[in-house]
Structure formats: C-alpha cells, structure tokens
Amino acid sequence: MRLEGKKVIALVSDEFEDLELWYPVLRLKEEGAIVHFIGEKADHEYKGKYGVPAVSDYELKSVNIEEYDAVLVPGGWAPDKLRRYPEVLEMIRWFNERKKPIGQICHAGWVLISAGILEGRKVTSTPGIKDDMENAGAIWVNEAAVVDGHIVSSRRPPDLPIYVKAFADLLAQS
C-alpha cells in the first residue's frame, strides 16, 4: 500500500478512452491511493468511447485541488472537451508549477498543450498528435512511457502497464 494517503484527480468527460481511465484508476486504488473523478458536473455519469461509465465525484468549479497529490488525464476524445474548460487548464498549470505528478496518455497531450506547459519537455503521445506536441515545443519520442520530471506520458492502451507503473513510482516518491 505504498500510495496510502495519496489523493489523485482523474479528469473525466464524455468519450474518454475506457481503458486509459479505468486501468490507472484501478491500479492506483490497489496500491492505496484515493482517486476522485472530476468533471464539468458533480455526480454526473460520463460515458467512455466503448460505453463504460464513470460518475464524477466533484465538479471542476468546486474541487479543492490543494488537497491532491497528482492528476491523471485520460485519452480518447475527452481531452478535446476538457481543454476547453479554464478550470482544467488552471488545474494543470497549478500541478505543473508545484511539480506534482501529471499523467497523460494518448490524446491527453492536447490538455497539456492548451495549458502551455510542454515547452522543452520530453514526452510521448499517440502518434496522431505528434505534430501538435512538437508545435507546442515538446520533444516527442516514440516510447511506451516517458518520465520528464513530474510529467509521465504514454502512447496508447497497450502501454498502460509501463505507464501506470511509472506514474505510481513517481507518486510514491512525491
């Protein structure tokens, strides 16, 4: 239970990639972390791309991010929606400024791009947004998981075991 007492935000919006949300959440909980789903609305059911639901614990506007140790951004089409909320961008910047763990996989890089925190960072993502990542100033590499300081990034569902282990290791050290 090396993550006991650690609190993690898992951002959620419709059309998240089911595995990219649920696999990290379940693994972190298995290690003792408390994970809360945060979305535009509290107590709202968001549907994954393949129909798996996630019910938000809190709404973006009311969550006290100072209570949390890390944030996870899943992939799918949800990141394109999430990056439109000023609260999400402020949250990502807040975690970045404090060098608290930020996990992003697949299309989640769009959220970090919109938050303006990728300049000079070594990251990965789905190859489909490689150009977007590089245009935001990131150094993009084609690896299963990349850790650059407090940012952990990954490409797609087959990389989840490596990505989540790297994220949990970082969280345990923070």
Would you put residue 120 in left (φ > 0), alpha (ψ -120 to 50) or beta?
A: left
44 counts as catalytic: no
Residues 113-152 have pLDDT tens digits of: 999 999 999 999 999 999 999 999 999 999 999 999 999 9
Q: Which domain holds residue 23?
A: 5-170
pLDDT of 110: 98
Tell me how many domains the chain contains. 1
DSSP letters of 18-64? HHHHHHHHHHHHHTT-EEEEEESSTT-EEEBTTS-EEE-SEETTT--
Distance CA 54, CA 39 (A): 10
CATH, residue 97: 3.40.50.880
Distance CA 44, CA 57 (A): 8
pTM of the full predicted structure?
0.97
Distance in angstroms (rounded) separating the CA atoms of residues 18 and 76:
8
Q: Provide the pLDDT confidence category of residue 76 given band limits of 50, 70 and 90.
A: very high
Catalytic residue among 36, 44, 107, 150: 107
Catalytic-residue membership of 107: yes
Beta bridge partners of 154: 105, 145
pLDDT tens-place string over residues 27-61:
999 999 999 999 999 999 999 999 999 999 999 99
